[in-house]
Each structure stands twice: as C-alpha cells, then as structure tokens.
Amino acid sequence: MDLKLLDAEPTEAERVVVDLFTGMGRDQLLPALHAVNDRVGWISQGALNHICRVLHVPPAEAYGVASFYSLFSLTERPAKVVHVCVDLACQVNGAKAVCDRLTDELGPAGAGSGWLRSPCLGVCEKAPAALAFEAGEVAKEQLLAPTHAGEVIAVAAAGPSRVDGERAEVPQAGAPGLRLLKRVGVVDPESLDDYRATGGYQALRTALLLGPAGVIREVSDAKLMGRGGAAFPTGRKWDATARQPVRPHYLVCNADESEPGTFKDRLLMEGDPFAVIESMTIAGFAAGCSKGYLYLRGEYPRALHLLRNAISKARERGFLGTNVMGHEGFSFDIEIRRGAGAYICGEETAIFNSIEGFRGEPRSKPPFPVEQGLFGKPTVVNNVETLVNVPVILTEGCEAYTRIGTEGSTGPKLFCLSGNVSRPGVYEVPFGTTLSELLDLAGGVPPGRELRAVLLGGAAGGFVRPDELDLPLTLEDARAAGTTLGSGVVLVLDDTADLGSFLLRIAAFFRDESCGQCVPCRIGTVRQEEALHRLVGKRPLSTSAADLQLLREVGQVMRDSSICGLGQTAWNAIESALDRLGYAEEATK
C-alpha cells in the first residue's frame, strides 16, 4: 500500500529490534510494539514509523493500536517503571496505604515518578502486589508480592533484580485427589521428563488413537463446560468448528486472565505449563486446527518464560510440529502472544483483533468464532482451565469424569480465594462443594473478624451474604441464586472492608477497561462511576433516590445494549451490592 510515514527516524536500538520483524505482516504489530517497549520502555514516533515501514501498517492505525494498551506509552518515559496494583484484592489488603506513601515519597503516580497504578495483576493471593519493569537489551520484570511501600521505592530506584517471579504455590500442593493442580508446586515446571513421569502426554496418545470425532465425543459426554465465565459446552464448540469446511481452523487458548481476583490460570501455567501445551494440542487435533495461539496477559512474566520453555521442549521432542507424536498428517504448533494491558482482550472476539494487529475491540456476534474467528477462519477459543480438564477426561474416561461434581456441573473446579481470608490461593474442589466448605478450606476470615460478604465471579459477578454460604458451587445453583461463578473468583470481605470504596473500584475498573466502541459502555461506565461517587460520598445531584434510579437506568442500558460481556456485566456487582447487601438503603439513608 502507499503508506505515508511521519518524518521521524528510529534510534539505532529501536531499529535493531524492529528490523527483526522484516518480511512479516500486520499480525506482528503487537509483538513489534512489545519489542520496542522491552528495549526502550516507550514507543517513539521514529519507532512507530519504522514498525509501520517494516510491517506495512498505516501509522494512524498503528498509533490507534498502540494507544489501546495500557502497558505502552506513546510519550517518553524512563526505562524503569513499577506497576502498583490497586485492584480489589490488593485494595482490601492495604494497596491504598502503599500508594499514599509512594505519592508522598516519589510524587503522584505517573511516568515521571517511576510508578503507575495498575488494574489487577493476577497475584491476589499475595496482595498487595506490584510488578517492576525495566527496559533494556534484556528487559527485566520482577513481581513484588506481597509487597510494601519501602520495597516498591527501593525497586523503583534500583530496577528489577531478576527476570521472573517465584515458584508457583498452591495451599493444597501435593494433596491426594487433585487432578488439575496435581503437579502444581510439586513437579519441576521446566522439565518435560518430569511431566511425562507424572502421566504427561498420555492423554494426547489416547486422543490420537480415538481420532478427532472420538475426542469430541468424550469431551461432549463428559459435559465439560467452559471455565472462563460463559460456561459454554466445550464439546459443542469443538464439534461446530470441526465441521466447518473452510480451512485453516485456529485454536486460541485464552490466557488473558484479567478479571480482578482471578489468578488460577497463572498458577496452572506456572505450575504445570506442559499440561497447557498438551491440552492445546489435543484441542487442535479434535477441532482440525493446525495452529494454536496462546494469548497470555502481558503482566505474567514467569508464565511467559515457562510456557516458552515448554513449547520449545515439546517441539524438540516431536510433541509439536509436523506429525505430532509420529501421527501422520497431524501437524500443530503454538505461538504465544503477549497482551499489553487490556482486560477487554480476554473477550473471545477482541482477542482475535488483538492477535491480528488491530485494536482489541470485540466484534459483533453473529458471526460466531466457530464460523468466522481469527483471520476470519473457524476458531475455537478456550480458557486455560477448560483445556487442562481435557487430559483428565481422556485419561480417566468421560464416565469417571461425570461422577465428579454434580449432574449439571461436572468435574473439578478451581476457585481463587483472596481478600480477607486466612489462606488465600487457588483451590481445587468438585463442583457442588458449598461456599462455606470452600471458605473453611481457606481458613475463613482472619481471626477476630466477621464475614461481611463474598464477591463471587469477579467484578462482573455478584455478592453473596454471610447467610447464603450454604450455596452449592455449581453453575445451576449460582444461576438460580442470581449470581455467577464467573471465572471462579471468591473474594472475601470482612467487617473492616469499606464497601463504598470497593464498589467505586469496581466502577473505575469498568470505566478504565471499556474499549470505548459502543455508547452504552463507553459513556455508561463513566455515568455509573459518577453516580456511584455521588451516592457513596452522599453528595446527590438532587436526591440519592434519584441518583439510585439513574444508576439503575444506566445499568439497564449497559446490560441490554452493550456489544460485549464487559458492558453487559459492568453493572452486575454494583446492582448486587445495592440489592443483596442492602447498600441501596445504606446509601439513601
């Protein structure tokens, strides 16, 4: 195309990293932006220009894409920056105090002061958390969790000291009966041999024997439901894709885990990366895909390192590539894509746009991904946790699998416990376990405190009162109780929690993370936050009742008319607090 570029040249360092993309196309835009950001810490005009020249992308579009992601800066900033989480679990665990001290000592959050406020970093079990980053020839990232202001200040000055974080840990590590978490914290996540010694790649062998249709039948009969939040039957998705005559088909593993309070996928990827790779390979085999993309959220450096290692080892040993495990005609490979700070990219169609090098805006459905997904081709999108259930099904058999859990919700389920809870972390329990049993496993609220509420399902979920803890954790019971399990968030609030601030954080989260594409969400999330501020601050426009009414009306239009799940659910938790927790009365008193 006849590109017109700006009159700006890259620095030598920028040129070198961008030139590595020579001969590639638009779909490498996000990786190229990452490469520049990793090298120099921001995206200059010259660097963007050069990316456009190399990848043949119009500069206005590249700018539109780069400005979509919060991890990128289009104005100059220092190579070192610390992202300090201010989201739900961290807020409950003292993030505000950390930020207050940082403001005092380093100045207000911003590029100049070396620290930025960040949405959920996905390490809620070790709140409060921060992620230090330093651009350079080898970019360094260090997770600080749990952290404190002093540590952040020290690291902001000195820069991160290592490339990735600590070893994955789960409270149940090594406990008998675990299926999804059986290797996490127990087996060396870098060793393919260890993986195989603990049953790894037996499921893929079985899959190759069963054939694609057989695998789909097993998964369908196991009644596996998606674990990402929407709970769609996985077998049906695979079957619908496999039947599409158009080729190629794609598999996308959605590892853009960004729902505040969710960190289960990170634990799986850090603790059992080969399982993720094997599961993707099985899914690709079943749905007729030759290529899989693993879309990993940008804030998971350790998972990135371990998955890269796992993919390369699997390739070396013939578990990826042409004729996988010697199976004639089945070729499959996996490419990792790093997100760059956009919650919306976890939406199953936004993820396609992001991979293709466009703004991560959701697409209108229909057409559905199984018909026209990534690059317009039939595509399966599965969450990490969903996928790692597949080897369980194939090794234990679908009948055994359906005996786990309940009639309507089969199999094991991971829950992310955080907030005011004694032993936060990821727990594996069968579907049907009650909320109180789960809270007991995690030690309940800290001694001397009273449970105030549990946020179930995340920012897009709903609240459960202390008198409702006998709720069996199944898809159908949650639905009947007017809430959702969502992505498995169980965020516990005790009597010290400030519910008003908590709700404001939820409102701010949706305002910040709205992609801006549709009116109800783009403007509605702002009006929701404004009205909530007035309610919480007791500064009504006319009366608090009128503000409440306004809030409900805005909530309704977001739910009815937004393009995607983000806008449609942006009002859920707030509505739930107003109605289930009695916050409506409290606010209008």
Contact set with other proteins (CB under 8 A): 1-4, 6-7, 45, 48, 58-64, 67-68, 70, 74, 342, 359, 364, 366, 511-520, 522-527, 530-531, 541, 550, 553-554, 556-557, 559-563, 568
What whole-number distance in Å separates Cα of residue 223 and Cα of residue 475?
A: 12
- Report in angstroms how near the CB of residue 42 gets to other proteins at its nearest: 12
- Report in angstroms how near the CB of residue 291 gets to other proteins at its nearest: 20
Contact 268, 384 (CB under 8 A): yes
CA angle 382, 254, 334 (to 5 degrees): 90
- Report in angstroms how near the CB of residue 136 gets to other proteins at its nearest: 25
Residue 457 CB partners (closer than 8 Å, separation 6+): 229, 478, 483, 484, 485, 486, 487, 488, 489
For other proteins, the closer of residues 325 and 526 by Cβ is 526
> Of 221, 302, 208, which Cα lies nearest the Cα of 255?
302
- Report in angstroms how near the CB of residue 546 gets to other proteins at its nearest: 9
Maximum Cα interatomic distance, the chain, rounded to a whole number of Å: 72
Query: Phi-psi category of 406—alpha, beta or left, where left has phi over 0 and alpha has psi -120 to 50?
Result: beta
For other proteins, the closer of residues 171 and 555 by Cβ is 555
- Report in angstroms how near the CB of residue 107 gets to other proteins at its nearest: 23
DSSP 205-219: HHHHHHHHHHHHHHH
- What is the DSSP-derived secondary structure letter of residue 410? B
Tokens standing for residue 508: 């701010």
For other proteins, the closer of residues 59 and 271 by Cβ is 59
For other proteins, the closer of residues 245 and 448 by Cβ is 245
User: Within a 10 A sphere around the Cβ of 241, how many other Cβ atoms?
Assistant: 27
What residues form DSSP beta bridges with 321? Answer: 332
Tokens standing for residue 45: 């005009």
- Report in angstroms how near the CB of residue 2 gets to other proteins at its nearest: 4
- Report in angstroms how near the CB of residue 386 gets to other proteins at its nearest: 21
| CA atoms in the 13 A half-sphere facing the CB of 587 | 31
- Report in angstroms how near the CB of residue 431 gets to other proteins at its nearest: 23
For other proteins, the closer of residues 5 and 481 by Cβ is 5
For other proteins, the closer of residues 4 and 589 by Cβ is 4
- Burial of 166 (C-beta count, 10 Å sphere; 0-12/13-18/19+): exposed
For other proteins, the closer of residues 499 and 523 by Cβ is 523
At 422, which amino acid appears?
S
For other proteins, the closer of residues 387 and 563 by Cβ is 563
For other proteins, the closer of residues 349 and 409 by Cβ is 349
What residues form DSSP beta bridges with 291? Answer: 250, 333
Contact 154, 332 (CB under 8 A): no
Residue with tokens 């998955």: 307
- Report in angstroms how near the CB of residue 517 gets to other proteins at its nearest: 6
For other proteins, the closer of residues 3 and 97 by Cβ is 3
- Report in angstroms how near the CB of residue 64 gets to other proteins at its nearest: 3
For other proteins, the closer of residues 77 and 359 by Cβ is 359
- Report in angstroms how near the CB of residue 183 gets to other proteins at its nearest: 38
DSSP 424-481: -EEEEEETT-BHHHHHHHTT-SPTT--EEEEEESSTTSEEE-GGGTT-B-SHHHHHHT
- Burial of 58 (C-beta count, 10 Å sphere; 0-12/13-18/19+): middle
Contact 335, 294 (CB under 8 A): yes
- Report in angstroms how near the CB of residue 562 gets to other proteins at its nearest: 8
For other proteins, the closer of residues 147 and 562 by Cβ is 562
Q: What is the distance of C-alpha 321 from the center of its chain?
A: 27
For other proteins, the closer of residues 259 and 428 by Cβ is 259
* Helix 234-242 × helix 273-287 angle, to 10°: 50
What whole-number distance in Å separates Cα of residue 36 and Cα of residue 14?
A: 6
For other proteins, the closer of residues 194 and 512 by Cβ is 512
DSSP 252-319: EEEE---STT--HHHHHHHH-HHHHHHHHHHHHHHHTEEEEEEEE-TT-HHHHHHHHHHHHHHHHTTS
For other proteins, the closer of residues 70 and 103 by Cβ is 70
Residue 351 CB partners (closer than 8 Å, separation 6+): 252, 254, 256, 295, 345, 360, 381
Cα 406 to Cα 81, 264, 383, 427: the distances in Å are 47, 21, 21, 18
- Report in angstroms how near the CB of residue 375 gets to other proteins at its nearest: 13
- Report in angstroms how near the CB of residue 551 gets to other proteins at its nearest: 11
- Report in angstroms how near the CB of residue 81 gets to other proteins at its nearest: 19
What SS3 state is found at 32?
A: helix
What SS3 state is found at 190?
A: coil
